[in-house]
Structures are given as C-alpha cells and as structure tokens.
Structure 1
Amino acid sequence: MSDGAGQEPIRVCFPFVGDDVGGSHISALKLIQNLDRSRVEPVLVLQEPTGPLATFLQRQGQPFTGLPLSKTLPAKGTSLGDIANYLTTTLPCMLRFIREQRFDIVHTNDGRTHVNWGIAARLAGARLVWHHRGDPDAKGANVLGPLIADRMVTVSRFSRPKHPIRSLNGRLSVIHSPFDHPSAIPDRAAAKAALLDELGLEPGTRVLSFIGGLIERKRPLLFIDIIERFAREYPQIPIVGCVFGISPAGSQDFEAAAMARCAERGLGRTVRLMGFRSPIEPFLAATDVLVVPAVGEPFGRTLIEAMFLGTPVVATDHGGNPEAIENGRTGFLVAPEDTGGFMQPLWRLLSDPLLWTRISQTARDQAFVSYGTDRHVESVTEIYEGVLHSPSRHRPGA
C-alpha cells in the first residue's frame, strides 16, 4: 500500500467480470501494460477466471487474479433478492479481498464493476476511479457515480454524465482511450487478397466493414441495410459487407438477427458474418471503407485504429464520432439512422482513388498527432496520485 508520497507504488485493482471481451477491456489492458511500475502496481482481477476474457489475457501474456463471485448486482434491473445476496454474500468477500490485498485504488471500467466494486471500494476505504465509457444518460454515471467516486474519467466530451445528482466539478476528467502507434502498417494488397480468398470472392470486390460488438447502439442491422442499399443503387461497384464481432454474453443476440435479415433479403454472398477476429489489424487493412452506423457511441476504438492504418471512415455525426473525425478532411460524417446518408460518401471513396488517398493519408497523420498510449497513461497516473493526496477516508488495511 502506498502512502501517496511516492515511497511505494500505488496499488490499483482493475476488476472485470470476464464473460466477454470488448473495447473497454482492450483499453484497460493497454493502460495496465504501460503503467510505470515504479509509480503504479496494477492488479487485474477476474470474477470468471476461465471465461473469454481470461483466454484473451492469457494470449496477451497478461497475468490476472481470479476471484469467483457467484452473487453480484446486475448493471440494470436489480431486485430485492439481488441486493440481499450481494450484501450478505458478495460484499463481505470483496471487502476482505480489497483490504487483504491492500489496494489504494479500485479502477472500475464497466457497468457491473462500477456497481459491485464501487460500493465495496468505498466501504473498504480504498479510493474509487470510475471510468465511464458509455451513455451520458446512464443512471449509474449520473446517480451512483457522483455519490461514491473520488474521480470520474470519461472517454469523450460526449460521454460526460448529463445530469449528475451531485456536482462532479473538480472530479471529472475527459481522457481519450489509449492507442499504440502501429510499428508497421500491414500490406493492404496482401491483406485484402487473403480476405477475398477466404470469402471466395473476385479480386476486384470492394470491402466495407463493420467492426465491434454486436449491440444495439452500434447498429449492426443498420449496417446490413446500408450494404443492401449500396449494392442496389451502385451495382457497377462489386462490394461485400463484412461484420466483425459477436454479441456480448447476456445481451440481445444480434448474430441471429443479422443472419435472419441476410437470409430474408437474399444477402448471403453480399454480407458475411466474420465473428470475433484478433488481431483485427489485417482485416482493417483489407477494408476499403470502415462503416460506423453507431448512435451514442462514446468513443469507438476501431474508428481510431482505422485512421492509424489509413482506412477511410464513414460514420454517424453522433456520440463521440465528431470528436475524432473532421468531416470531409479525415473522414465523412452523416446523419444517424439514415441509410441514404451513407451512399454518396461511400460512392465517392470507392470511385475516386485520389479522394480515397487524400482522406486516408490525412486521417493517418491526424491520428499519429492526436492519439497515443503515453499521454493516456500519464494522465491516468496523475489522477491516481491526485486522489491519494486529496482529503483521505479510512485507508485499506489500516
């Protein structure tokens, strides 16, 4: 345990459920892997130590600690029975763990860990850093977070809580997610040839991709509608729409819905469900245009990763997208929920090589200037050091 004066590294707990893998996990992992161990000692904790996230972390060579918890509060729809089980079974276990591990800070990153670990951190005497990566109207970020968080971090200006029950003045920071600058850009021609070969398509086929978790706000079904409409309006341009991603555990099954929509509309060869792929860079490099129909997306990782690789982006003018894309210069922004709005930017990029090259290079240059891991890590580390110097509560293990 650190005394906040730099004598020992600050011990930070990063808890996750572990039943899925998404952008928040990747961002948190990049932070964890790049923290200066002389200043911060991170400990990644999984409630499901044999789940999908554990498998992902093992492939990344990232150690973690397992803490199976059978009765946790859901992020939404909490019942009296859930609360009773949490208070009598789960909470005492978490309090013991936080105190025995002598954590200075608990850094939560998603709805379920905000609720469960945030309360435990507060009661155990550890400081709480609440990393909000979601909807600005989210109940937790507007009600529970302002009450119990020592500091709140949001990934974009858009995702700042709209109606916090208690002022967050002096406790809220906007810090964009960490991005590693690619050391090498995949060979686009080779990557595309490999993808088209896998799909059994002709070499001249243009690739439009959707990359991300299959959840409502990312609008995977709208992507299918966009591909269908473009193929109908511009039959002279052969395209394939690739959906990279899966539905997170416990969420609506958009994979089944996507398959049903494709079958219903005869899009079996035009739209392909590719599942979860890692690393994603070769597939981003194989993509001619990344299509981002999301609404309310706080700050999508894939959008910035595409910019780093020089893959042009057409995205909705909503959420955190306008904070990343300058319309007509580093990509294109279109009205949300409107398939027609995507048509002209897609046509222009696929039919004008000079425009494609200009957008590609400008976006890539901008990404290298604006985004990086070092800046993110230093900003978060300063928050850790700051909360330990602020007026203290009871310290864990004291």
Structure 2
Amino acid sequence: MRVCFVSHTAKKYGAELALLELLQGLVAEGVDCKVLVPKKGPLLTALDQLHIEWKIIGYPFWVAGARRRWMSGRILRTVRTLLLAIPMAHIIAKWQCDLVCSNTMTIGAGALAARLAKRPHVWHLHEFGYRDPNLLFDLGERRTARLMDRLSAIFIANSYAVVKHYGRYINQERIKVVYQAVTLRDEIESSPGNHATTDKPCFTCVIVGSLHIAKGQDEAIRALAEIVRRGVDMELLFVGAGSKRYRKVLGQQVRDFGLEQRVKFIGYAENPLPYIRMADVVLVCSRWEAFGRATVEAMLLGKPIIATANSGGTAELIHDGETGLLYEAGNHVELADKIQRLYQIPSEGIRLGTAARMWAAGRFTQQRYAREVLSLLSEALTKEQHAAPAVNQFEQSDD
C-alpha cells in the first residue's frame, strides 16, 4: 500500500508528532508513505531521517482566527485551496498512491485533491475543530462538515470525546477511535518513577503546551497565587510557545499577582521531557483537549498529574484518584487544593505517578497505532475498489 499524507504544517507540534509516530510505524509494517506539506519546517528533517519522500505545495488553511476573517481573505483562501488541489492531485497520481490521508481538519485541499485523483480519502481528526470561538471556517461550520463527510471514506479520531464532538454533523459510526502512539523522545536512564531531587529550590509544577487561552495557563497562575498566599513555596514553568498577544496577557497577570520570581516562560522545547522530569506535578489545565500527548508523556515518566475533568480526551486518560487527579475547569481554588494535597503528602504523588506509569506502559506503542490505522486504511481502500474502475485524467496526463 502507498499512502499520501497531507500535513497542515511542517512544524513539530502535537498533530505533527502523531503523524511522525504513525509514519514510523507504517514504514515498519511495509507501507510506502509520501507526505505533502505547505511550507518548509522541522518536520522535513524528520521525514528525511525516515527516508520518506515529501513535496512542498503552498496550500492554505480553510480556518482563520476571528480577527483575520475578512471577506477578501476568506475568498482568497478558498480560491487557493481549489486551485492548488489540482497540482496536488497530479503529484498523488504521479506517486501512484492508493489513498490520501489528511492529518488534521484545518486543511481541505487534500480531500479535494484526492477526489480529483479518484483516490479514497481518510480524515484523521486530532482536534476539536468547532470548539474554539476564535477559529472560524471559511465555508462555515455546517458546510465544512458536510463537505468533509462527502469527500471522505472514513474518519479516524484520537479520542471518544472527538467522536462525540463531530457527531453533530457526521455519522458517528463512520468515525473510528485510534489512540495515537506516544514514544518518549529520549532514553530514560533513571527510574521512570524518579521525582524532584532534594536540591530543587521549591515545589515545581509544569505545564507543557502552546500558549493559548484554551490551554488554561491563566488558571494555573491564579492557582499559584492562591498557593503562595497559603504559604507554600512553589514555582510554575510554562513549556511552549504560542500567541505573542496571549503571552503578554499572561505576563501582565503574573505581574499583577507579584509572581515574577515564581513563573518561568521556557518557550518552545522540541524535547520537553527534561522539564517534565524535574516537575513535582504536571498540570493539564486545558479547557478542551482532544488527546493530550504531554499527559501521556508525564504518565510514562511516572509523574503525578492534575488535569481538568471536563477537557474531552483527558478524562479518558486520567482516572481520578487512581492515575491522577481531576478538577473542574474554571475552579482555580480546587486546583490549588489538589496541588497543596500533593505538596503536603509526597507519598500520594508517588502512588499516583506509579499507577499512571503502569497503566500507560504498552498502551501507546507505534506498532499498535500503525496496525490499527493500517486496518482502517485497508478498509477504506477495499470499499473504493468495490466501485467500478475509472480512468484517471491525471495519470493519463503523466503518460
């Protein structure tokens, strides 16, 4: 089988890391993988290391921030999507791919190109596309969902929460859940259950993720202020880059609470594991989280986690009181209470971290991920092959 994957960016954030895990697993299963990307980025180096052929075509997103959603921009992106689907279809045919898989729902050109090239299309859903009020679809929410439904043979979701989210517009029976692989990005030399060393200056909480209002960094700052007010010596580390505007908002919040010496903005880290290792507690304060790679990384490292209870996929990973602690999103006092609990009872954090590691170990492997996805890709291809064969104009033009 030969598959063309369409990535929404050439960066190395959550969805792109999931794609790399999948590609590595599929290659091991004998699948010939190709990748289309919209521009240059660190993803290309990783693809070269896997000996996977790629090509750059500047297809746009079909979503935009609410502040950038002027009519001319929407029309321009839609026209570019339609036009660039044509050369994408040529490449798919030239590569002789059996099917096409779009890695997120933020781009539509891959699905259109697959239709032009007469290949089945699979949509891999890694996000809550309609949850963020600051992201709006150029074609509108309902029209986009209907188009996705028409252009795809099957959908793959990374959690049951995502299935429920898209089930408003797409038949849930067509959406299959496959938990993605999570491979720690370096070798663990020490025991996975290791906690902070005694020479650490204070109790440390870490959040890994892009700086975005949906990630809840502001809530963590409010909880930190409450904790410090109670006399707990604590620091908070943010590992991740993101919106400069939101970074300024967070910075002002830190200054308002007088926490300048207790909050550190680390910025983007290609490998955040050293920061997770040094943490006493890993926080997941997201208002909505489709899956949560950083959550699984923390579990594999045996770290206690405090996460939001109503954050989609997170609740599928954390069993409250067993493999972590959950709190109600928006309740920073409850978050502070649970941080203080782990501060005052270190053995509780060790118990939760150990249970989390035991639960996660062996569940998120590349082999399992690749085989489950490959089964669904084969199913999509089989359905397409039952249709009468048609001559492809793009393959004709390349003869």
Which residue is 1:47 aligned to? 38
Correspondence 1:308-387 to 2 at 5 A: 308-318=300-310, 319-387=312-380
Distance 1:57 1:270, change over 3 A: farther
- The equivalences for 1:223-302 within 5 A come to 223-233=220-230, 235=231, 237-247=232-242, 253-302=245-294
Number of the residue aligned with 2:188: 184
Shift of 1:348: 1.4
Q: 1:22 aligns with which of 13, 18, 29?
A: 13
Which 10-residue stretch deviates more, 258-267 or 280-289? Answer: 258-267
**Residues 290-328 of structure 1: per-residue CA shift (max 9 Å, x gap):** 111111211101111101101100000011111111111
Aligned to 1:111: 105
TM-score, normalising length: structure 2? 0.84
Contact 2:302/2:356, CA 8 A, preserved across alignment: yes
> How far 1:18 sits from its partner (Å)?
2.9
Q: Distance in 2 between matches of 1:395 and 1:307?
A: 50
Question: Once structures 1 and 2 are overlaid, which stretch shifts more, 18-27 or 131-140?
Answer: 131-140
Q: CA deviation at 1:148?
A: 1.3
Q: Equivalent residue for 1:135? A: 128
Q: Report the CA distance shift for 1:190/1:27 in structure 2 as closer, same or farther (over 3 A).
A: same
- Is residue 77 of structure 2 the alignment partner of residue 82 of structure 1? yes
Equivalent position SS for 2:33:
strand
Tell me by how many angstroms 1:83 deviates.
Answer: 2.3
Q: 1:187 to 1:277 in 2, by over 3 A?
A: farther
Q: How many residues align?
A: 371
Q: 1:66 is matched with which residue? A: 55
Find the residue that maps to 1:379 and give its secondary structure: helix
After superposition, the Cα gap between the structure-2 partners of 1:191 and 1:36, relative to the gap in structure 1 and judged at 3 Å, is: same
The answer to whether the 8 Å contact 2:3/2:99 transfers is yes
Equivalent of residue 210 in structure 1, options 191, 207, 211? 207
Using the TM superposition, give the Cα deviation of residue 274 of structure 1 relative to its aligned residue in structure 2, in angstroms: 0.4
Partners of 1:145 and 1:152 within 8 A in 2: no
1:173 equivalent in alignment to 2:176: yes
SS at structure 2 position matched to 1:79: helix
Q: 1:229-268 deviations in whole A, cap 9, x for unaligned?
A: 22222x1x32110000011xxx563223222322333221
Q: In structure 2, what is the Cα distance between the partners aligned to 1:39 and 1:265?
A: 55
* Equivalent residue letter for 2:253: R
Give 3-state SS (helix, strand or coil) of 1:86's partner.
Answer: helix
Q: Structure 1 residues 97-106 or 374-383, which shifts more?
A: 97-106
C-alpha distance in structure 1 between counterparts of 2:331 and 2:29, whole Å:
50
Assess, with a 3 A threshold, how the Cα gap between structure 1 residues 342 and 168 changes in structure 2: closer, same or farther. Answer: closer
Query: Are the equivalent residues in 1 in contact too, given 2:106–2:129 (CA < 8 A)?
Result: no
From 147, 150, 153, give the equivalent of 1:147. 150
Determine if contact 1:147/1:166 at 8 Å carries over to the other structure: no
Task: Name the CA distance, whole Å, in 2 between partners of 1:345 and 1:191.
Answer: 18
Q: How much does 1:189 deviate?
A: 10
Task: Provide the aligned C-alpha RMSD in A.
Answer: 2.7
Output the CA distance in 2 between the equivalents of 1:219 and 1:11. Answer: 40
Distance in 1 separating the partners of 2:51 and 2:272: 19
Find the aligned partners of 2:51 and 2:126 in 1 and give their Cα distance. 22
CA–CA separation in structure 2 for the residues paired with 1:44 and 1:355:
45
Against the structure 1 CA distance between its residues 163 and 180, is the aligned structure 2 distance closer, same or farther, given a 3 Å change threshold?
closer
Q: Which moved more, 1:351-360 or 1:138-147?
A: 138-147
Q: Please give the alpha-carbon distance, in whole angstroms, between the structure 2 residues aligned to 1:73 and 1:358.
A: 44
Residue aligned with 2:63, SS: coil
2:161 partner SS: coil
SS at match of 2:204: strand
Q: Secondary structure at the match of 1:254?
A: helix
Equivalent pairs: percent with the same residue?
Answer: 21
Give the residue type in structure 1 aligned to 2:121.
Answer: L
Aligned partner letter, 1:245: G
Letter in 2 for 1:320: G
C-alpha deviations, 1:348-398, integer Å up to 9, x for none?
Answer: 111112212211111111111533222111100111111111143647637
SS across alignment from 2:101: strand
Gaps of 5+ in 1: 1-9, 197-201
- Measure the CA separation in 1 of the matches of 2:190 and 2:215: 26
Aligned to 1:6: none
Q: Distance in 2 between matches of 1:301 and 1:219?
A: 16
- Measure, in 1, the Cα distance between the counterparts of 2:362 and 2:129: 27
In structure 1, distance between residues paired with 2:194 and 2:178: 35
